[in-house]
């Protein structure tokens, strides 16, 4: 029986913008540009592209085919492939819930910073005249304030997801994603008017970047970093594309979308670098990545630009919010879709609104320790041996998801479909309504051999590197 609480995308553009919205997120802004510079520049880009093509495109196509063919969210979808495979679906559902636990906190930070720069435009001293590092330290040391901004973020995203696929998620992305690219272009154009901006290009695209970041080229390390970044950045191995695929119309070309979405994500990652590093170098900053780049280095960069820095800073954090929200709603959708589908299967239908409410509360509960952890600055969570070994709670959540669950789910999906179900299982779905598979032999060889082999390398090397081995 058709599940009334499910929905569908209104058309191609809505689907593509929504999937790009999930892929383009904080990972593109704080991860890719820094990692590219610090790991070889142009050669890193080539390595990254190899992973995008042989793993990103393949797993994306496969997830969409699984989703659309079964019409279900990950646990039930994998259960249709065989009861014994349900656990792969569970990996895919737990992952987004865990990631949302820290992702929502970080978007909350961005809301605070956007608000801060907006206030500064109107002459109020919202950052107390502090340096980036001092303000960040002071802000994160007030968990109640951090929690307030996390609640605002989760409530806004919850409302979007509760609005449904076409009425909420697609609507947001149809405005948010073009808006995000426009903001990127505005900031990039402004950046290139700054004296010294070309150093940003030198950092990202040439081998001098390693000198600037104080690193050295190591091929295997570059592969490991590129692979982990690709998986997180393309939103793979966590049921997002299974869930979004389940709402996709049969006439849509899965293989075309599987090429377009990672390409758009990579373009956005390069543009993000151009929106960040030219400004950082022009203002005399030093390159770094992660949370420190977004909230300390960029804050200092905008402050040192004078009045115009408040406007550019405000636009930049609005950009971060658009990127973050479009990703967070995809994470919340996976969790909510699972709740809706599993209750429907038990004969106890639950409304989308109630499902989203339950998931929002669960994610908020998971985010509380992250708020209290102060990114490792508090003594509470760092007393847990595993957390202190890995770094802080955000890194710990990231270790279990990006380091273990995502690559594992991606490998298992390829092996189950490639070896147990056979190529016709997914090809039938990809070829529906007369669609041609773009790269049919490529998908065949990759799903069975190349992608699982490359992903196994990622799984082992990421797990070891997180543990500092
Ligand atoms: N792809 C998003 C990013 O690059 O920030 C993050 C993300 C979204 C990760 C959705 C995982 C996910 F399921």
Read off the DSSP letter of residue 123.
T
Ligand 1 centroid, distance to 27 Cα (angstroms): 7
* Cα-to-centroid distance, 22 and ligand 1 (Å): 6
From 93, 327, 394, give the residue whose CB has the most ligand 1 atoms within 8 Å, as the site to mutate.
327
Which residue, judged by its Cα, is nearest atom 6 of ligand 1? 25
Cα three-residue angle 159-165-170, rounded to 5 degrees: 85
User: Are 20 and 329 in contact, with CB atoms under 8 Å apart?
Assistant: no
Which ligand 1 atom lies nearest to the CA of residue 96?
Answer: 13
Q: What is the rounded CA–CA span in Å between residue 75 and residue 93? A: 7
Looking at domain 12-466, which CATH architecture does it have? Orthogonal Bundle (1.10)
Determine the residue of 232, 289, 322, 326 to mutate for testing ligand 1's pocket, defined as the one with the most ligand atoms within 8 A of the Cβ atom: 232
Ligand 1, atom 7, lies closest to the CA of 235
Output the pLDDT for position 221. 87
Pocket test for ligand 1, best of 21, 60, 241, 330 (most atoms within 8 A of CB): 330
The protein residue with its alpha carbon nearest to ligand 1, atom 8, reads 327
Tokens (6 digits) for 457 = 């390398």
**Residue in this structure with the two tokens 């179900």, named with its chain if needed:** 421
According to the model, what pLDDT value does residue 268 have? 97
Q: How much distance in Å is there from the Cα of 464 to the middle of ligand 1?
A: 22
State the Cα–Cα distance between residues 104 and 110, nearest whole angstrom: 10
Residue 306 alpha carbon to ligand 1 centre in Å: 33
CA 375 / ligand 1 centre spacing (Å): 19
**What is the CB < 6 Å shell around ligand 1?**
22-23, 25-28, 96, 99, 232-233, 235, 238, 240, 327, 330-331
Collapse the DSSP code of 451 into the 3-class scheme (helix H, G, I; strand E, B; otherwise coil) and give the result.
helix
- Cα(170) to centroid(ligand 1), Å: 17
Return d(Cα 74, Cα 50) in angstroms, integer. 27
Rounded CA-CA distance 443/349 in Å is 37
d(CA 391, CA 393): 7
Q: Which two tokens stand for residue 40?
A: 């070889």
Dist. CA 327 → ligand 1 center (Å):
5
Map out the domains of the chain as residue ranges: 12-466
According to the model, what pLDDT value does residue 33 have? 93
pLDDT for 466: 65
Instruction: Quote the ligand 1 centre to 305 CA distance (angstroms).
Output: 31
C-alpha 298 chain-centroid distance: 20
Span from the CA of 54 to the centroid of ligand 1 (angstroms)? 19
pLDDT of residue 4: 55
Q: Element (H or E) spanning 282, and its range? A: helix 254-282
Residue-wise pLDDT tens for the chain (469 aa)? Answer: 445 556 789 889 999 999 999 999 999 999 999 999 999 999 999 999 999 999 999 999 999 999 999 999 999 999 999 999 999 999 989 999 999 999 999 999 999 999 999 999 999 999 999 999 999 999 999 999 999 999 999 999 999 999 999 999 999 999 999 999 999 999 999 999 999 999 999 999 999 999 999 999 999 889 988 988 999 999 998 899 999 999 999 999 999 999 999 999 999 999 999 999 999 999 999 998 888 999 999 999 999 999 999 999 999 999 999 999 999 999 999 999 999 999 999 999 999 999 999 999 999 999 999 998 877 777 677 777 777 777 788 888 888 888 889 999 999 999 999 999 999 999 999 999 999 999 999 999 999 999 999 999 888 887 787 667 6
What is the per-residue pLDDT for 214? 92
Q: Cα(92) to centroid of ligand 1, in Å?
A: 13
Q: Report in angstroms the alpha-carbon separations of 368 from 3, 112, 177, 334.
A: 33, 17, 29, 21
CA of 23 to the centre of ligand 1 (A): 5
- Ligand 1 atom, smallest distance to 28 CA: 4
Distance CA 430, CA 444 (A): 12
Q: Residues 86, 438, 227, 29: what is their CA dihedral angle, to the nearest 10 degrees?
A: -100
pTM of the full structure? 0.94
Q: Which one, of 289, 205, 245, 223, lies nearest residue 55 by Cα?
A: 223
Which residue has its alpha carbon closest to ligand 1 atom 11? Answer: 235
Best residue among 21, 25, 241 to mutate for probing ligand 1, ranked by most atoms within 8 Å of CB: 25
Euclidean distance between CA atoms 317 and 174, whole angstroms:
19
Q: How far is the CA of 271 from the centre of ligand 1 (A)?
A: 17
**Alpha helix (H) ranges present in 192-218?**
198-205, 208-213
Closest Cα to atom 2, ligand 1: which residue? 25
The residue whose CA is least distant from atom 10 of ligand 1 is: 235
Q: What is the number of the ligand 1 atom nearest to the C-alpha of 334?
A: 13
Structure token pair of residue 93: 């559902």
């Amino acid at each position: 029986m058709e599940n009334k609480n499910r929905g569908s995308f209104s058309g191609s553009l809505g689907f593509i913008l929504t999937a790009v919205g999930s892929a383009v997120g904080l990972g593109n802004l704080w991860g890719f540009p820094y990692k590219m510079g610090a790991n070889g520049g142009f050669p890193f880009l080539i390595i990254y592209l190899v992973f995008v093509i042989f793993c990103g495109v393949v797993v994306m196509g496969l997830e969409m085919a699984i989703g659309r063919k079964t019409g279900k969210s990950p646990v039930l979808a994998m259960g249709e492939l065989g009861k014994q495979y349900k656990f792969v679906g569970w990996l895919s559902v737990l992952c987004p819930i865990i990631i949302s636990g820290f992702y929502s906190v970080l978007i909350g930070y961005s809301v605070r910073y956007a608000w801060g720069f907006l206030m500064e435009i109107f002459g109020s001293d919202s950052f107390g005249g502090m340096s980036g590092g001092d303000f960040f330290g002071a802000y994160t040391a007030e968990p109640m304030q951090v929690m307030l901004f996390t609640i605002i973020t989760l409530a806004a995203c919850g409302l979007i997801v509760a609005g449904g696929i076409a009425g909420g998620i697609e609507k947001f992305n149809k405005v948010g994603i073009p808006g995000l690219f426009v903001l990127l272009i505005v900031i990039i154009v402004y950046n290139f008017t700054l004296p010294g901006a070309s150093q940003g290009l030198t950092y990202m695209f040439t081998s001098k970047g390693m000198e600037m970041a104080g690193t050295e080229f190591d091929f295997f390390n570059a592969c490991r970093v590129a692979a982990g970044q690709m998986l997180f950045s393309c939103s793979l191995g966590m049921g997002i594309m299974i869930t979004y695929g389940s709402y996709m119309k049969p006439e849509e070309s899965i293989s075309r979308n599987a090429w377009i979405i990672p390409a758009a994500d990579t373009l956005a990652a390069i543009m993000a670098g151009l929106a960040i590093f030219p400004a950082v170098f022009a203002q005399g900053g030093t390159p770094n990545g992660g949370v420190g780049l977004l909230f300390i280095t960029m804050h200092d960069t905008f402050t040192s630009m004078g009045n115009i820095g408040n406007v550019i800073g405000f636009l930049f954090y609005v950009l971060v919010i658009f990127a973050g929200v479009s990703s967070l709603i995809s994470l919340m959708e996976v969790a909510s879709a699972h709740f809706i589908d599993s209750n429907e299967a038990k004969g106890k239908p639950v409304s989308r609104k109630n499902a989203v409410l339950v998931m929002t509360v669960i994610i908020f509960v998971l985010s509380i320790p992250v708020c209290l952890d102060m990114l490792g600055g508090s003594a509470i969570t760092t007393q847990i041996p595993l957390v202190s070994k890995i770094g802080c709670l955000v890194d710990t959540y990231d270790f279990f998801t990006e380091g273990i669950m995502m690559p594992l789910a991606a490998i298992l999906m390829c092996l189950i479909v490639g070896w147990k179900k056979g190529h016709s299982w997914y090809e039938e779905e990809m070829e529906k309504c007369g669609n041609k598979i773009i790269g049919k032999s490529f998908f065949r060889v990759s799903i069975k051999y190349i992608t699982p082999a490359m992903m196994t390398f990622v799984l082992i090397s990421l797990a070891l590197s997180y543990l500092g081995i």
